[in-house]
Chain A
């Protein structure tokens, strides 16, 4: 008997917070609202920590059945929660980072209208995210999956009076639908072929199947469809377009949802489904290719962005690409490791960026910043830690995880030097654009219009009119309040130390979940499945590869220093030299425009012409209208029968009776 951990409490606690704040928050003071929100998410964190403490004594995977949800014949879906090493890591990341960002948000959102609404959404997001992480079957996971999408939509569109925020929310929602479509079909395939959606049963069924060596079979189809879902949620090619726009939401939201937790759900899902992917090499390859290309692609765009949050958004996409690259070479633990460290440093980056934006009064364009390191030292130092972490300098957290991925990309049986090469180049780009951001923001001279000095909070009514989404317009650059700085510091510490666990130990910890008995694929099978890779030399090459990646990071730092610190006019010249390519990169390769022309416009036109005018107006509405019209006309004709004259009624009855009698006699005497 394993102890009952009451896993359901972890998701439900934030839900209670969301319900309280959502239903009654309007009448609460800001203190009460934040107390409720922090209390319940903090309780979830404490519970998660307590569980982690108990973890050693559990038999894994630990499944807790709450209730039966659907039962139809042999098919059954339960409200059940599933705890193993993988979900524990996710649990801790989500509750931990989530709680920290809750704290940060109290300070960040203090001046905003809809304070209670924000925290209700945030807690709701926590509920769905934890459901996703703890679900014991794909359907419950899907509920969480959709729920975080909903929360994301609500929070991106938090300033819904702003048109760009509202349409960014819609865009996120719609693009995610495409991915969900793939996810759903994958679920249907599972129901059809395995008769269950429970992780354990599905994996049991799958592991009894041989690896698909050639051609596209069932598992490849499921894997590709799951990848489609993951690509939607985790902003991979070609469905990444929503994430940059999602930066319209408040910065803590960007940090929590669009950097640290929700967007990594795709990675988590792929890792969770590793049993399927292990037996579908083609699908796995697609994952790797998509991840690699996304990493490179987003990084190039990030180089030219000037909006501080957009840079971070593309950086997030790029880093997610890394994670998928790791998953794609069957190095799930490396992917999850990077997921964790990324949650720390990217959350920190966003929060620090928020702090910067806060400091300069809502300005997001890096070209109008500069020299802020003297004004906001705490933000500067934490940001520095995060930047070094993401760039992959040892001993910061990012170094360990990125190094693990790059090494696995090269050495894994599924890996290839191509992945590695692109990965290293991307690491160089990452380092470059991050230090570009760093230099532009904190060094040089201040280029904004704002004068240092007293700051005055304007009335909240001016928010809508304000150009920036933030209402607090300050008259001077200033450091953020303590409540915002504390999470920054904690995350900075984690960004520095988070990687010291080491990828090997992390791999060992996760291996029961990722390579447990069910998943085990024998080397023979792998050898048969993937003919290409020869055994690679391990020991010596690892240090070599590590060195190369560190070198790439350092060269990125150098280049950024050169261009933005030493010779600030140089980028302009390079841009002119690059000409149309630069233009394309600045315009994000015109992807949004292409999508608009290829998908959105035909869809809208087709919907207008065929669905709206053709089907809805001319068929459905016309059917209704015509039948109503017809009924009216028939009634109008029949109305005269209802004369109210008793004898007329009797006449009808007599005529009808004669008909009936005639019919009966005809039938009877035939």
Chain B
């Protein structure tokens, strides 16, 4: 038997890692992956709470998160490709002109 709070703490750690990654990583793709990491952390808490409240809608939410994450990654990666074409760098510190 594992207390639910452990799951939540794990999810929190993943989320915090994601935020930290966003803050410290320079590669735009890695930053994007950090977002995915945060989403995964959130998903874990969704599933954990679903178990806590015996409500399957928590799991359904995970699907929506996944779909949105998929859409987001498709568009995001396309944007990254576009940025790379014009800037020829993936370093976010060098992409700070607020325009393509």
Contact = CB atoms under 8 A, between A and B. Distances in A.
Contacts of A644: 96-98
Interface in A618-643: 642-643
Nearest to B21: A650
B31 A646 contact: yes
B89 to A, nearest CB: 13
A654 B96 contact: no
Of A642, A643, A644, A651, most buried by chain B (CB within 10 Å of CB) is: A644
Interface string B72-100: 00000000000000000000110111100
A642 B92 CA distance: 14
B1 interface: no
Interface of A: 642-647, 650-651, 654
Of B28, B97, B98, most buried by chain A (CB within 10 Å of CB) is: B98
B98 A651 contact: no
Interface string B37-67: 0000000000000000000000000000000
Contacts of B31: 646-647
A646 to B, nearest CB: 4
A650 B19 contact: yes
B93 A645 contact: yes
A654 B98 CA distance: 20
Contacts of B19: 650, 654
B2 interface: no
Given A645-B96, A646-B96, 11 more contacts: A645-B93, A646-B28, A646-B31, A646-B92, A647-B31, A650-B19, A650-B22, A650-B23, A651-B23, A654-B22, A654-B23
Majority secondary structure, A binding face: helix
A642 B97 CA distance: 10
Contacts of A643: 96
14 contacts: A642-B98, A644-B97, A644-B98, A645-B92, A645-B93, A646-B92, A647-B22, A647-B23, A647-B24, A647-B31, A647-B92, A650-B19, A654-B22, A654-B23
A646 B31 CA distance: 10
A539 B19 CA distance: 112
Contacts of B98: 642, 644
A273 B98 CA distance: 73
A657 to B, nearest CB: 8
B46 to A, nearest CB: 19
A647 B93 CA distance: 8
A647 B96 CA distance: 10
A643 B96 CA distance: 7
B48 to A, nearest CB: 19
Contacts of B28: 646
A651 B96 CA distance: 15
Nearest to A648: B96
B33 to A, nearest CB: 14
A411 B39 CA distance: 103
Contacts of B97: 644
Contacts of A647: 22-24, 26, 31, 92-93
A644 B31 CA distance: 16
A646 B76 CA distance: 14
Q: Across the A-B interface, give the 5 residue pairs with the lowest CB-CB distance, nearest first.
A: A644-B96, A646-B92, A644-B98, A650-B22, A645-B96
Contacts of A645: 92-93, 96
B25 to A, nearest CB: 8
Contacts of B96: 643-646
A644 B93 CA distance: 9
Nearest to A642: B98
A642 B28 CA distance: 19
Contacts of A642: 98
A642 B23 CA distance: 16
A303 B53 CA distance: 106
Contacts of B92: 645-647
Nearest to B92: A646
A646 B24 CA distance: 11
Nearest to A651: B23
Nearest to B93: A645
A656 B8 CA distance: 22
Nearest to B19: A654
Nearest to A643: B96
A602 B76 CA distance: 72
A654 B18 CA distance: 11
B86 to A, nearest CB: 15
A643 B24 CA distance: 16
A645 B31 CA distance: 13
A646 B97 CA distance: 10
A149 to B, nearest CB: 58
A449 B82 CA distance: 92
A91 to B, nearest CB: 72
B31 to A, nearest CB: 7
Nearest to B99: A644
Contacts of B22: 647, 650, 654
Nearest to B97: A644
A644 B94 CA distance: 10
A646 B19 CA distance: 13
